[in-house]
Amino acid sequence: MKDSAAHNLLGLTLKSGWKVTEKITKTANSTGAFFSVCYKAEKDGQTCFFKAFDFAKFQQISETGKQVVDIIADMTTAYKYERDLSEHCKNRHVTKVAFVIDSGEEYLNTYTFGIVPYLIFELADGDIRNRIDFSNKLDFAWKLHSLHDIAVGLQQLHNVNVSHQDLKPSNILIFNQNSKLGDLGRSMCKDIESEYNRMEYSGDWNYAPPEMMYGYYEKDWAKRVFATDCYLLGSMIVFYFAGVSMSALLCKHIPQTHRHDYWRGTFDEIKPYLIESFSNAMIEFKDSFEDDYFKSEVSQVVEQLCFPFPEQRGHPKNIVNKHGSNFNLERFITKLEVLTKKAESKIKK
Amino acid sequence: MAVIIERKERRLIPNWRTFSTTISLGELDSSLISPIAKPDLSIEDYIEDFYENETIPFAADLISAAVVNGFTDNENVKNAAKFILDRQNQVTQTQYDISKNILSTNENSFECSIDKITIKELESCLPEQEYRLRIQQLKKHVIDFQHNSIAWVELSRCYSILGQEKQAIKSMKIAVQLAPNNRFVLRCAVRLFSHYDELELAHDILRKNNITNFDPWLMSAEISVANLRGRNSRFIKKGIDLVNSKKLSPFSITELASSIGTIELLSGNRKKSRKMFGKSLVEPNDNSLAQIKWVLNNKDKSLIDDEQINLQTKHSFEAKAISNFYDKKLIDALNNTCQWFCDMPFSKRPVIMGSGIADILDNRSLSIEFLKLGLMAHANDAQMLNNIAYYLALDNNTRDALSYLEKAKTQGTSKTKVVNICLTATDGLICFRKNKYEEGRNKYLKAIEQTTSKNDEYLHRIAILNYAREEILAKTDKIESVMQLVDKIPELDEDNHISIKKLKSEVTELYKEHKQKTSPHI
């Protein structure tokens, strides 16, 4: 670390005018590439999140047997991809995503590995895990508002051919009362070449949809990736109200021998059992609500977003309609907006 | 006259239990024995986040990841689970339950409550109200989750337990439409359709299904149903190859090997049959155990060394009942039939056997109780109605006996030749008990004649003994002539004629008493 420029930026004012004011350990905004070092940086009175790419890290990784040139290439690709993807979205009316607001590279000649490419993001108050309170019933309206923000953010990404793929609590960033999607680092974009585009699923396997867990991959890129995002959005709703991910809730109801890590049959063979588990998971999810109206409405949204078979996921009207995508989130956005308003008016009463 | 042990041929028709019980028995596991590659997963980030923040959302995020990817034994995950449990008022019920599961030590232990049931709990074996409530819940469930084939199967099971045949078949057909290739659904469907004598339907869903080519559990059922229909199965050769392939676990092929073993035995290939039964017994299930016990007691006593058969398999109540019955451990056998009935309340066989054993043990009220519970699923079953009438008549309750007999005659289903003979004989019994001796005698003699023409030795002897008892009790002048027939019945030492032995000793005793009273000098 002593010999890594990326770890020694604190107190420096960079050529771009950013002053690095605080080194932060793992906290808000900190997910993403594991070869980065995070700071707070200031410029023109604005404090931002500063993500420095630690190219010296290749020394540690190369011990695992990977070629140094490959590691450096991976790092460069990751850096460029995140920067370009952010740029791609920023200019296309995407507002609910935490963007790269500046990027550049700094050279510190006193270190063996002196080049530090960096990305600067808006600084969030924290991620959803720092904000959510499962025992506070008054949080209900806020939760729905936050989920609406997430759905809008996802749809905005989908509109510009980007699939987030890694929606999870640590990637929902809080900015005052609003929520934004963070970490596009594992996103897939049809218009930008990336290794992720060749992957079936690029997100965190701990949140992966059931079809991925059981090794079933839809061949059509758009269908596969947007179905995944639908599931992840539903899973976030489950986390907000039941306090665990949809995958965890589903696994709770899957018998041991039918779990993805035990099952040796095909996805088609597990389907009847998955529906049974999913039905029971949904019954349990419904118990998370006291109010019958919200119980029914929110559960219906989750059921449609998280249906265990990707081809049956999405709003029924979109599935029936031959035109457009099954996975268009507009109807869910409207529903979440209506629910938010109802919840807010309930509080005011 | 009652037949106390159903002497029907037994084949490997799948047993049908609830989905959760079937899973716990391992019948829905993958058949392959090859290991699976586990993806390289990590929860290190979640652990780090939890310790840095130590709040419920971070703990919840960690246990979520752990549950999904099987890291629940990790000490850090357990710490997070404890963290959640310590804050019961601030967490959701789901978070609490999952944390509790993580810290629970006996999550894999299988405890079968039915094992502990004895005949004393017979009445609680069939909680009718609970089944009706369950039907209500399931009906609501299948409205909410119409694609859930498993729920349709469960609904069908509840209907069949309450004897609602049409609803049971309709629900099962929906399940089969929803999941035409699913092992659980197909096996349950085969059982239900066979149960209602819809053998063609049961056969069609298997023989026309591609999955039967690969699934040993379905192949076994197809071979058995084909045999019951008097057809040759095209899966026998494939089945033999599958049993010998060593690609499948011994448990997966237990029913298949037993099915083929039965067919080989019936075809006279004793050596091949023994080999197949040997393979089926490496890791048997309750069904293959019951089959070998049936074979040994009804077909070929020395096919396999009985001593080597271990009955400690889960839910092997039928096998234990048969085994204990022929070993003359009648109380144990009675408890086993009660457990068997609790396990599969729609099944007729435990009812007939349980009531029969109770009769042998001179507990006719228990026999009647057992049969009346059986009527829940088989309201008009002629054999059960006849047996109730028979036991009631033996207790001189001729009025009720007659009403059951009439119902059996007019509305009775499953009226086989054997049942018809029993009905005639029971009619004769009621006539005797109503002092209409001539009428009763005629009916008994008609029944005996029918048993002769049917060439059914067992039934013939039962009919003679029943008739003899009535002549003695009625103190008619036909006693000596009927006793000549009784004397022709040899002193059997065959285990499977325990009911004849009992009847014969009763009749002999009654005859002795009669002789003593009529000829005090003897």
Return the pLDDT at A27.
47
* Per-residue CA distances from A163 to A85, A89, A96, A318 (Å): 11, 11, 14, 19
Does B112 score more than 90 pLDDT?
Answer: no
Rounded distance between C-alpha atoms, residue A327 and residue A223, angstroms: 8
With CB atoms and an 8 Å threshold, state whether A239 touches B64.
Answer: yes
Compute the nearest-CA separation of B67 from chain A (Å). 6
Rounded to 10 degrees, the C-alpha dihedral A88/A93/A95/A101 comes to: 40
Query: What are B237's two structure tokens?
Result: 């050769």
Q: Which residues of B187-199 are buried (b: 16+ CB within 10 A; e: fewer)?
A: bbbbbbbbbbebb
Does B361 score more than 50 pLDDT?
Answer: yes
Does A57 score more than 70 pLDDT?
Answer: no
Rounded distance between C-alpha atoms, residue B506 and residue B502, angstroms: 6
Asked if the C-beta of B5 comes within 8 angstroms of chain A's C-beta atoms, the answer is: no
To which CATH superfamily is domain B321-518 assigned? Answer: Tetratricopeptide repeat domain (1.25.40.10)
Compute the nearest-CA separation of B190 from chain A (Å). 17
| Burial of residue B207, with CB atoms counted within 10 A of its CB: 0-12 exposed, 13-18 middle, 19 or more buried | middle
User: Considering CB atoms only, which of A128, A134, A279 is closest to B148?
Assistant: A279
* Per-residue CA distances from B3 to A121, B357, B383, B405, B497 (Å): 85, 11, 8, 15, 11
The share of chain B scoring above pLDDT 90, in percent, equals 67
Question: Which is more confident, A82 or A247?
Answer: A247
Rounded distance between C-alpha atoms, residue A20 and residue B470, angstroms: 109
pLDDT grade for A5, boundaries at 50, 70 and 90: confident
Chain B partners within 8 Å of A133 (Cβ): 90
Asked if the C-beta of A45 comes within 8 angstroms of chain B's C-beta atoms, the answer is: no
Specify which residues A49 forms β-bridges with: A40, A121
Chain A partners within 8 Å of B147 (Cβ): 275
Give A277's Cβ-side CA count (13 Å radius).
25
Compute the nearest-CA separation of B450 from chain A (Å). 51
Helix (H, G, I), strand (E, B) or coil at B17: coil
pLDDT digits (tens, 9 = 90+) for A8-20: 899 999 999 999 9
Does B9 score more than 70 pLDDT?
Answer: yes
Asked if the C-beta of B6 comes within 8 angstroms of chain A's C-beta atoms, the answer is: no
User: Considering CB atoms only, which of A31, A247, A276 is closest to B68?
Assistant: A247
Q: What is the 3-state secondary structure (H, E, C) of B68-114?
A: HHCCCCCHHHHHHHHHHHCCHHHCCHHHHHHHHHHHCCCCCCCCCHH
Interface test with A, best of B38, B68, B71 (most A CBs within 10 A): B68
With CB atoms and an 8 Å threshold, state whether A276 touches B89.
Answer: no
Do A328 and A231 meet the contact criterion of CB atoms below 8 Å apart? no
Mean pLDDT along residues B243-266: 93
N-term to C-term CA, chain B: 32
pLDDT digits (tens, 9 = 90+) for B195-214: 998 999 999 999 989 999 99
Length of chain B: 522
Mean pLDDT along residues B443-456: 87
User: Considering CB atoms only, which of A268, A279, A288 is closest to B141?
Assistant: A279
Return the pLDDT at A263.
87
User: Considering CB atoms only, which of B58, B68, B92 is closest to A245?
Assistant: B68
Indicate the range of A43-52, A61-70, A209-218, A313-322 predicted with least confidence. Answer: A61-70
Return the pLDDT at A32.
43
With CB atoms and an 8 Å threshold, state whether B52 touches A27.
Answer: yes
In 3D space, the residue among B222, B165, B160, B145 whose CA is nearest the CA of residue B190 turns out to be B222
Specify which residues A104 forms β-bridges with: A118
With CB atoms and an 8 Å threshold, state whether A269 touches B181.
Answer: yes
Return the pLDDT at A130.
92
Does B5 score more than 70 pLDDT?
Answer: no
∠ CA B90-B93-B95, rounded to 5°? 75
Query: What are B144's two structure tokens?
Result: 């909410």
User: Considering CB atoms only, which of A244, A259, A271 is closest to B63?
Assistant: A244
In 3D space, the residue among A215, A213, A219, A243 whose CA is nearest the CA of residue A231 turns out to be A213
Mean pLDDT along residues B237-260: 93
Rounded distance between C-alpha atoms, residue B311 and residue B309, angstroms: 6
pLDDT grade for A26, boundaries at 50, 70 and 90: low
Please determine, for the modelled complex, whether the ipTM score is greater than 0.85: yes
Chain A partners within 8 Å of B150 (Cβ): 272-273, 275-276
Asked if the C-beta of B61 comes within 8 angstroms of chain A's C-beta atoms, the answer is: yes
Task: Indicate left, alpha or beta for A176 from its phi (over 0: left) and psi (-120 to 50: alpha).
Answer: left
Query: Nearest-CA residue of chain A relative to B137?
Result: A283
Question: Which is more confident, A245 or B304?
Answer: A245
Q: What is the 3-state secondary structure (H, E, C) of chain A?
A: CCCEHHHCCCCCECCCCCEEEEEECCCCCCCCCCCEEEEEEEECCEEEEEEEECHHHHHHHHCCCCCHHHHHHHHHHHHHHHHHHHHHHHCCCCCCECCEEEEEEEECCCCCECEEEEEEEECCCEEHHHHCCCCCCCHHHHHHHHHHHHHHHHHHHHHCCEECCCCCHHHEEEECCEEEECCHHHCEECCCCCHHHHCCCCCCHHHCCHHHHCCCCCCCHHHHHHHHHHHHHHHHHHHHHHCCCHHHHHHHCCCHHHCCCCCCCCHHHHHHHHHHHHHHHHHHHHCCCCCHHHHHHHHHHHHHHHCCCHHHCCCHHHHHCCCCCCCCCHHHHHHHHHHHHHHHHHHHC
User: Considering CB atoms only, which of A205, A252, A282 is closest to B69?
Assistant: A205
Chain B partners within 8 Å of A207 (Cβ): 65, 68
Query: What are A166's two structure tokens?
Result: 């890694």
Do B81 and B103 meet the contact criterion of CB atoms below 8 Å apart? yes
Contact residues for A131 (Cβ-Cβ < 8 A; gap 6+): A125, A174
pLDDT grade for B306, boundaries at 50, 70 and 90: confident
Return the pLDDT at A194.
80
N-term to C-term CA, chain A: 57
Query: What are B193's two structure tokens?
Result: 């359709």
Give the B window 122-151 contacts with A, CB below 8 Å. 141, 144-145, 147-151
pLDDT digits (tens, 9 = 90+) for B379-393: 989 999 999 999 999
Q: Count helices and strands (H / E) in chain B.
A: 26, 0
Return the pLDDT at B497.
72
Return the pLDDT at A7.
87
Query: Nearest-CA residue of chain A relative to B144?
Result: A279
Return the pLDDT at B173.
97
Give the A window 78-107 contacts with B, CB below 8 Å. none
Query: Nearest-CA residue of chain B relative to A267?
Result: B182
Compute the nearest-CA separation of B42 from chain A (Å). 8
- DSSP class per residue in B261-304: HHHHHHTT-HHHHHHHHHHHTTS--HHHHHHHHHHHHHT-TTSS
Question: Which is more confident, A210 or A263?
Answer: A210
Asked if the C-beta of B411 comes within 8 angstroms of chain A's C-beta atoms, the answer is: no
Chain B partners within 8 Å of A242 (Cβ): 92, 94-95
The share of chain A scoring above pLDDT 90, in percent, equals 51
Rounded distance between C-alpha atoms, residue B437 and residue B435, angstroms: 5
Mean pLDDT along residues A159-169: 93
Helix axes B417-433, B398-411, angle to 10 degrees: 150
Chain B partners within 8 Å of A247 (Cβ): 64, 68
Name the DSSP class of B163.
T
In 3D space, the residue among B164, B187, B165 whose CA is nearest the CA of residue B175 turns out to be B187
Does B454 score more than 60 pLDDT?
Answer: yes
Indicate the range of A332-341, B8-17, B174-183, B400-409 predicted with least confidence. Answer: B8-17
Asked if the C-beta of B32 comes within 8 angstroms of chain A's C-beta atoms, the answer is: yes
Helix axes B349-360, B382-394, angle to 10 degrees: 10
Return the pLDDT at B99.
97
Do A264 and B32 meet the contact criterion of CB atoms below 8 Å apart? yes
Compute the nearest-CA separation of A170 from chain B (Å). 9
pTM of the entire predicted model: 0.88
With CB atoms and an 8 Å threshold, state whether B53 touches A129.
Answer: yes
In 3D space, the residue among B327, B379, B372 whose CA is nearest the CA of residue B351 turns out to be B372
Query: What are A73's two structure tokens?
Result: 């290439």
* Per-residue CA distances from B191 to B185, B196, B255 (Å): 10, 9, 14
With CB atoms and an 8 Å threshold, state whether A132 touches B34.
Answer: no
Task: State which amino acid sits at residue A214.
Answer: Y
Helix (H, G, I), strand (E, B) or coil at B32: strand
Helix (H, G, I), strand (E, B) or coil at B248: strand
Mean pLDDT along residues A244-261: 94
Asked if the C-beta of A23 comes within 8 angstroms of chain B's C-beta atoms, the answer is: no
Return the pLDDT at B136.
96
Does B6 score more than 70 pLDDT?
Answer: no
The mean predicted confidence, pLDDT, of chain B is 89
Rounded distance between C-alpha atoms, residue A276 and residue A42, angstroms: 53
Contact residues for B438 (Cβ-Cβ < 8 A; gap 6+): none
Return the pLDDT at B107.
47
Query: What are B2's two structure tokens?
Result: 């009652």
Question: Which is more confident, A209 or B4?
Answer: A209
Helix axes B183-195, B199-207, angle to 10 degrees: 160
Do A101 and A112 meet the contact criterion of CB atoms below 8 Å apart? no
The mean predicted confidence, pLDDT, of chain A is 88
pLDDT digits (tens, 9 = 90+) for A81-131: 888 888 888 888 888 999 888 999 898 888 877 889 999 998 999 999 999
- DSSP class per residue in B398-452: HHHHHHHHHHHHHH-BS--HHHHHHHHHHHHHHHHHTT-HHHHHHHHHHHHHHHH
Mean pLDDT along residues B353-363: 91
Do A178 and A186 meet the contact criterion of CB atoms below 8 Å apart? no
Return the pLDDT at B501.
85
Contact residues for B27 (Cβ-Cβ < 8 A; gap 6+): B183, B184, B187, B217, B285
Return the pLDDT at B521.
57
Does B101 score more than 80 pLDDT?
Answer: yes
* Per-residue CA distances from A74 to A66, A69, B41, B434 (Å): 11, 9, 20, 98
With CB atoms and an 8 Å threshold, state whether A170 touches B34.
Answer: no
Does B35 score more than 60 pLDDT?
Answer: no
Helix (H, G, I), strand (E, B) or coil at B207: helix
Please report, for chain B, the start and end positions of each structural domain, with discontinuous segments joined by +.
321-518
